[in-house]
């Protein structure tokens, strides 16, 4: 009969995790979960403030454009979605076509097409790129919508939009075919040989205007701010509560076994 080797047997017994080490790990995980939940609540407050600010701006009475002397100090959050009104004359020959898929149009036409962004001359020599609205792919050529190419000074009302220089995933503009993928007034001005110091560092989304033929279809500014921060906060706090419950159960069962 083989003798039992108690020393070998004792050495093979599984080791239990140190209660102190386990407690430290639980506290660290709990701190992370609580901080993530608190951060989501902070983001919720910021998002709600943004939504309220934008709602107030888009429904306010129109104001004048920012003065040229103030352009260098303009901040995006100060000017975005501000409603403005001014008189200017469109340079239709220099219009820029920004590709977009309009999934939820406010007007009757949507789908793939272009925003028609046209430089407009003010009386003081300032040039503002105005997003006149949406046209479908078949109406890219201005000749197909000649009625909407209004001449002479126009009263323009719309919302200020900060520049969109694009990111590393944004396709480069095809200047030859006049197909763009972001609205950067500085780049558009360079492509149209407009002096940079005369061009406003923002664009204006024009509100819907009565045009012969209905194109471009104005008033298509997307004002949407997904707000799921409360759900995220509840999720993180729920996970924190679950962690505490599991750890408390572990301690209780361990104490009962020892008893």
What pLDDT digit, counting tens, does each position of 138-151 carry? Answer: 999 999 999 999 99
For the chain, the helix, strand and coil percentages under 3-state DSSP, each to the nearest 5: 45, 20, 35
**Phi, psi at 179, each rounded to 5°:** -125, 120
205 exposure class (CB count in 10 Å sphere: 0-12, 13-18, 19+): buried
pLDDT at residue number 180: 94
pLDDT-derived band at 17, boundaries 50, 70, 90: low
pLDDT-derived band at 16, boundaries 50, 70, 90: low
Write out pLDDT tens, residues 40-81.
Answer: 889 888 888 778 888 888 888 999 999 999 999 998 888 999
What value does the mean pLDDT take over residues 199-214? Answer: 90
pLDDT-derived band at 13, boundaries 50, 70, 90: very low
Contacts (Cβ under 8 Å, ≥6 apart) of 184 = 163, 164, 165, 166
Q: Count the Cβ atoms, other than its own, within 10 Å of residue 183.
A: 22
pLDDT at residue number 9: 47
Q: Dihedral angle at the C-alpha atoms of 66, 72, 77, 80, nearest 10 degrees?
A: 40
Alpha-carbon span 26 to 250, nearest angstrom: 12
Write out pLDDT tens, residues 219-253.
Answer: 898 877 677 888 888 999 899 899 888 888 887 77
Flag whether pLDDT at 114 surpasses 80: yes
- For residues 148 and 211, is the Cβ–Cβ distance under 8 A? yes
Residue of 132, 146, 141 lying closest to 179 (CA atoms): 141
What value does the mean pLDDT take over residues 23-39? Answer: 89
Contacts (Cβ under 8 Å, ≥6 apart) of 81 = 54, 57, 58, 159, 160, 161, 221, 223
**Phi, psi at 137, each rounded to 5°:** -55, -40
Alpha-carbon span 109 to 112, nearest angstrom: 10
Residue with tokens 């997307």: 222
Write out pLDDT tens, residues 73-92.
Answer: 998 888 999 999 999 999 99
Residue of 101, 62, 112 lying closest to 83 (CA atoms): 62
Q: Where are the alpha helices (DSSP H) in 59-184?
A: 76-79
């Amino acid at each position: 009969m083989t003798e039992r080797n108690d020393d070998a047997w004792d050495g093979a017994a599984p080791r239990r995790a140190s209660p102190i080490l386990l407690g430290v790990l639980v506290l660290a995980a709990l701190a992370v979960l609580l901080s993530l939940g608190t951060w989501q609540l902070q983001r919720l407050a910021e998002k709600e403030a943004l939504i309220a600010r934008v709602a107030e701006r888009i429904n306010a009475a129109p104001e004048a454009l920012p003065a040229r002397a103030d352009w260098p100090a303009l901040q995006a959050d100060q000017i975005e979605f501000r409603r403005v009104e001014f008189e200017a004359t469109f340079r239709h020959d220099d219009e820029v076509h920004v590709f977009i898929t309009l999934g939820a149009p406010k007007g009757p036409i949507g789908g793939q097409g272009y925003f028609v962004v046209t430089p407009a001359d003010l009386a003081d020599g300032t040039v503002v790129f105005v997003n006149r609205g949406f046209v479908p792919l078949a109406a890219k050529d201005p000749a197909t919508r000649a009625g909407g190419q209004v001449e002479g000074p126009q009263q323009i009302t719309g919302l200020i939009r900060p520049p969109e220089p694009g990111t590393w995933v944004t396709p480069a503009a095809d200047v030859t075919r006049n197909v763009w993928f972001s609205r950067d007034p500085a780049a558009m001005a360079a492509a149209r040989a407009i002096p940079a110091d005369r061009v406003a560092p923002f664009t204006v989304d024009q509100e819907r205007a009565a045009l012969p033929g209905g194109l471009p279809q104005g008033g298509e500014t997307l004002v949407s701010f997904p707000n799921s921060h409360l759900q995220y906060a509840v999720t993180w706090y729920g996970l924190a509560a679950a962690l505490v419950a599991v750890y408390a159960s572990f301690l209780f069962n361990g104490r009962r076994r020892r008893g």
